[in-house]
Structure 1
Amino acid sequence: MKKAISLTLALVMALSLVSCGSKDSDGNSSNTGNNSAGSTGGSSASQSTTDGNYTYSGRLTLGGSDSTGQMYAAAATIATTFSASIDGLDVSATTSSGSNENALNVHDGVVELGMCSGDAAGAARAGTGKFENVGPCEDIVCIGAVYASVSNWIALKDSGYEYLHDAVGGVFGIGPAASTSEDSARLGLKAAGITEENSTFQNVTLGDGADNVANGVMAASTAFSGPPVGAHLNAAVTKDCVWLGFTEEELDTIIAENPAYSRQVIPAGTYPGQDKDVPTFGVKTLVICNADADEELIYHLAKALVDNAEDMIAGNASLAPMASADFICKDLPVPLHPGAEAYYKDAGLL
């Protein structure tokens, strides 16, 4: 089974790389509708245990993002893993506008599973921000965390910049309008003392922003995504680049304003020529479900995440944080589904 999952994930990753290219990898950046990347269907199903092996006869949909985004690539990998791990289960990743739409769709029963950034999931449960008109969606819970979306700021190496605040006075690409990249960019820029009074902000796709940096049009451009960001890798092929960090004081300010964020690091070697860790901030990206979902099914989906983490990482490098079981099941911004919590406790992880 493990070998079969590994081979399948390798194929999924190859197809994802073809679709992702250097376009916007922010899961919330563009609304492409709810078109499935595979077969979709309702969750009408039956489950049984045969000779100790759990089976589930049914189909589930996992909401991802724009098909060019990092969140969609992760969703495709996870959907493949879930399908291969449980006999009779068919999980397909579907496109969406990202975290906010996925949370609403899980709440409304449009999809059974969704990829969702921790801050969006928290806002959905609280009925705040973009969910203010919807009200609290307290049925939003999670199965586990799968990667961290972090603030990636790219600049040219010959700029001499090390921290974001070094680029004050320049032109900044802050991501697509109303995206999580823009939200995080504005928060980070504010903490770094960069405002629209002393600098210029422009809404651009992550790909265009990275290209503008490489072409000398922008001082720096952001991507709020799991590193490495494809658009940044592409830019680094043509020009020597650096990734800008934040000071401890700046990170304190950022996290105080948005407690859903936490300190993160872009490890040395993530990008070409990056020879040291970059201190930044980010938020865990979760696989969410409805609190009413079948406990035994969710128990085994949580088990699939832990058991197949190594193979998923081999197929999708952005899932590297899953190498730590603690990352998957601890310090989460929303509660675990009871089935997931039961598995992690049985496995000695909680």
Structure 2
Amino acid sequence: MQIVKYAVAASLIATAPLAAAQQLSIATGGTGGVYYPIGGGFAEIINNHLEGYDATAEVTGASVENMGLIMRGDADLALVLADTAMQAYEGSGDFEGRQIENTRALASVYPNAVQLVTLADSDIESLADLEGKRVSVGAPGSGTELNARALLEANGISYDDFTPQRLNFNETADAIRDGDIDAGFWSVGPPTSSILNLAATRDIRLIGLSDEEIANAQENEPVFAAYELKAGMYDGMDEAVQTISIPNVLVVNADMDEELAYNLTKLLYERIDDLIAVHPAANDTTVEFTMESTPVPLHPGAIRYYEEVDAEIPDKLRP
């Protein structure tokens, strides 16, 4: 009789369905940007290395929409610009009247670098030399335009001082190549495909910022950070160029399970080479970058990981 009972029990075990994996949604951006491949790469890492979870990268309208998805619980993780995350947390700017106090960060993953490009034979050597020139400041309402305007205004330059053109990345590169404009701004994770393509056909120069210009920008926008574009990033770029950047942050809801937040943070850093293979922007995904650049408090699960690796966690990042 005991043998029969065991056989029945074994049969029940063999036919019982496996527990369904918990679904995780990662809010990213459009397919042509950096958010989508970074989010997709992290989703694949989760699927391959975090048992019990199935992650998917979702195409979205990027930062502002992504914060709403986190607030409503319609996404589990999201990539957002640092200023958007800060506005959501404080209830300012686009989030006035709808503060998202339960915003928490796992990490800052990479920066959008403000890149000011002109042709190598141009007489533009600095921000001040934009006066009287034709300059693309980015597509209307884009992060590039917001960042360019903030940088310029912080340094006493307005749109009245030059002829602004509101062009997207590819249009800006084409216009510089064809001589229709004198210079253009990009704010995106480097290296940038449209600049790479431009540098492959024309000799270009990236305009660096002085320490004073960077300090002025940071005073105007606290989320700006100094950033160095490495020599050799683009054809003909023989020296490093100093500029500013704005971090992109991986955020979650404060209600996320602490163990899950810990495991996600640990996985991000332990498998970072896998993410770099997807997009080189992930080269900037470091513990140090997170400590220096994250604008909102860290999730307790993330803090647990950072304490394990002996990171110096600023008080402002502790909720």
Matching residue within 321, 326, 332 for 2:294: 332
Query: Letter of the aligned partner of 1:158 in structure 2?
Result: D
Is the Cα–Cα contact under 8 Å of residues 263 and 282 in structure 1 kept in the other structure?
yes
Aligned to 1:308: 271
| Structure 1 spans left out of the alignment, 5+ residues | 1-54
CA distance in structure 2 between the partners assigned to 1:205 and 1:91 by the alignment: 31
Q: For 1:100, what is the secondary structure of its paired residue?
A: helix
- Residue 341, structure 1, aligned to residue 303, structure 2: yes
CA distance in structure 2 between the partners assigned to 1:118 and 1:333 by the alignment: 6
Query: Letter of the aligned partner of 1:197 in structure 2?
Result: D
Matching residue within 244, 254, 268 for 1:291: 254
CA distance in structure 1 between the partners assigned to 2:61 and 2:185 by the alignment: 19
Deviation at 1:288, TM superposition (A): 0.5
CA distance in structure 2 between the partners assigned to 1:199 and 1:309 by the alignment: 42
- Residue 320, structure 1, aligned to residue 283, structure 2: yes
Deviation at 1:195, TM superposition (A): 2.2
Q: 1:335 to 1:101 in 2, by over 3 A?
A: same
Q: For 2:234, what is the secondary structure of its paired residue?
A: coil
| Structure 2 spans left out of the alignment, 5+ residues | 1-18, 313-319
Q: 1:56 to 1:182 in 2, by over 3 A?
A: farther
Q: CA RMSD in A?
A: 1.7
Query: Letter of the aligned partner of 2:95 in structure 1?
Result: F
Is the Cα–Cα contact under 8 Å of residues 38 and 278 in structure 2 kept in the other structure?
no
Aligned to 2:48: 84
Is the Cα–Cα contact under 8 Å of residues 56 and 87 in structure 1 kept in the other structure?
no
Query: Letter of the aligned partner of 1:317 in structure 2?
Result: P
Aligned to 1:19: none
CA distance in structure 1 between the partners assigned to 2:100 and 2:68 by the alignment: 8
TM-score, normalised by the number of residues in structure 2: 0.88
Deviation at 1:330, TM superposition (A): 4.7
Q: For 2:283, what is the secondary structure of its paired residue?
A: helix
Is the Cα–Cα contact under 8 Å of residues 171 and 218 in structure 1 kept in the other structure?
yes
Matching residue within 92, 101, 111 for 2:75: 111
Kindly report structure 1 stretches of 4+ aligned residues shifted beyond 6 Å: none
CA distance in structure 1 between the partners assigned to 2:224 and 2:21 by the alignment: 38
CA distance in structure 2 between the partners assigned to 1:330 and 1:238 by the alignment: 37
Deviation at 1:192, TM superposition (A): 4.4
Aligned to 2:88: 124
Is the Cα–Cα contact under 8 Å of residues 111 and 189 in structure 2 kept in the other structure?
yes
Aligned to 1:41: none
Matching residue within 54, 58, 61 for 1:97: 61
Deviation at 1:77, TM superposition (A): 1.7
CA distance in structure 2 between the partners assigned to 1:242 and 1:203 by the alignment: 21
Q: Deviations over 1:38-95 (max 9, x none)?
A: xxxxxxxxxxxxxxxxx99311111111111122222222222222220231111111
- Residue 60, structure 1, aligned to residue 6, structure 2: no
CA distance in structure 2 between the partners assigned to 1:293 and 1:122 by the alignment: 19
CA distance in structure 2 between the partners assigned to 1:56 and 1:286 by the alignment: 29
CA distance in structure 2 between the partners assigned to 1:140 and 1:334 by the alignment: 7
Q: 1:84 to 1:56 in 2, by over 3 A?
A: farther
Q: Which structure has the larger Rg over C-alpha atoms?
A: 2
Aligned to 1:243: 206
Aligned to 1:282: 245
- Residue 166, structure 1, aligned to residue 146, structure 2: no
Q: Deviations over 1:80-136 (max 9, x none)?
A: 2222220231111111111111111101111111001111100110111111142x2
- Residue 208, structure 1, aligned to residue 171, structure 2: yes
TM-score, normalised by the number of residues in structure 1: 0.80
Matching residue within 179, 196, 210 for 2:142: 179
Query: Letter of the aligned partner of 2:22 in structure 1?
Result: G
